[in-house]
Amino acid sequence: MARAAGVSESTVSRTLRDPTLVAEATRQRILAAVAATGYVPSYAARALASGRADVIGVLVPSVTNHVFTDVLEGIYSGIEGTGFDIQHGNTRYQPELEEGLLRVFLSQRPAGMIIAGVDQTDTSRRLLADAQCPVVQIMDIGPEPVDMMVGFSHEAAAHAATRHLVDAGYRNVAFLGAQMDPRTLRRFAGYRAALSEAGMFDAGRVETTADPSSVTAGAALFARLADRCPEVDAVFCNNDDLALGVLFEALRRGFDVPDRLGLCGFNDFEFAAASEPGITSVRTNRREMGRRAVELLLGRLDGTDPAARVVDLGFEVVARRSTAGRAAMPA
């Protein structure tokens, strides 16, 4: 292929790794030769020669959940024009599968690893700690990053959302949760802490399922809750999918939202603002999370240590009409 382009093999390698390193005319000649010969670079050979592949490994628990597609969009945006490629895997919320995928990815000598969550098994943490590449944990924050971390506090975000419901005048606030992964459990902890501080927590107003989250699941969970606890006047949902299901079921039952029932979701998907009434939700910086994770990796690869190993991107409770009904009521 180098012969076809009339350049050295090292020039071809530089062009394919980072096109900005060579002159425009040379780059075009090499790319034309690549197209003509059908050349496909070998990441395995490149890893053997340089000690690493120009690939960033990414492990997320779902590729259908909009939360993680947004994160992936931020990651792909971050690597654009860098000469790196992304290889991602789906752990399906299964710790054993995550361990297996980590072994596969790390055996390929990636330039870096991005992995969702901070709740890896001891084996996965050991694999990450021993990895010969920078590592960024995303979607959460904690005191003990394996290497670097970008995310926000799920517990603090849920606490703020629940406090918003209390401040809006609601007094019998329920929790709906699905999947019940570690991030969901932290959100429940924030909800529980906020209501306990207000003297309002009641374990009977909690309805959860281990099944995956969906709009249908939200409707079913709220139907069970409303039949069992008719006094409930507000619901904090683990995510917006559940919240939309609650809204549909509440309207089917003739409940006025927000006067009879306050409603708050989590993630602030587009439909939360587009629904009627608009659903209050917790906005998280998912695309920025992916982009910043790449930024941290690239900085480390360039020899620059981050100013902070844990980056807290924060959150925002976006209040909409679904929680406006009882603001004028006395405490």
**Cα(58)–Cα(321) distance, integer angstroms:** 37
Quickly name the fold that domain 154-283 has: Rossmann fold (3.40.50)
Mean predicted confidence (pLDDT) in 3-20: 64
Residues facing residue 15 across a β-bridge: none
**Cα(186)–Cα(81) distance, integer angstroms:** 37
Each residue's pLDDT tens digit, 146-172: 999 999 999 999 999 999 999 999 999
Q: Does the fold of domain 154-283 match that of domain 51-152+285-312?
A: yes
**Cα(70)–Cα(47) distance, integer angstroms:** 29
Give residue 41's pLDDT: 56
How many CA atoms within 13 Å lie on the side-chain side of 232? 29
Tokens coding 191:
């909800």
**Cα(140)–Cα(118) distance, integer angstroms:** 6
DSSP state of 213: P
Q: Which residue has the tokens 């009339």?
A: 6
Each residue's pLDDT tens digit, 95-118: 999 999 999 999 999 999 999 999
DSSP state of 279: P
**Cα(53)–Cα(121) distance, integer angstroms:** 26
Distance of CA 150 to the CA centre of its chain: 10
Q: Which residues of 55-65 are buried (b: 16+ CB within 10 A; e: fewer)?
A: bbbbbbbbeeb
CB 301 within 8 A of CB 317: no
Q: Write down the architecture of domain 51-152+285-312 according to CATH.
A: 3-Layer(aba) Sandwich (3.40)
3-state secondary structure (DSSP) of residue 89: strand
Nearest to 22 by CA among 83, 93, 109: 83
Helix (H) or strand (E) holding 112: strand 112-116
Nearest to 238 by CA among 182, 314, 296: 182
CB 115 within 8 A of CB 106: no
Give residue 213's pLDDT: 95
Give residue 20's pLDDT: 64
Instruction: Look at the alpha carbons of 292, 296, 302, 308 in this order and tell me if their dihedral is positive or negative.
Output: positive
**Cα(5)–Cα(188) distance, integer angstroms:** 60
CB 205 within 8 A of CB 238: no
Ordered by start, the domain boundaries in the chain are 2-41, 51-152+285-312, 154-283
CB 93 within 8 A of CB 65: no
Per-chain mean pLDDT for the chain: 91
Each residue's pLDDT tens digit, 218-263: 999 999 999 999 999 999 999 999 999 999 999 999 999 999 999 9
**Cα(54)–Cα(111) distance, integer angstroms:** 6
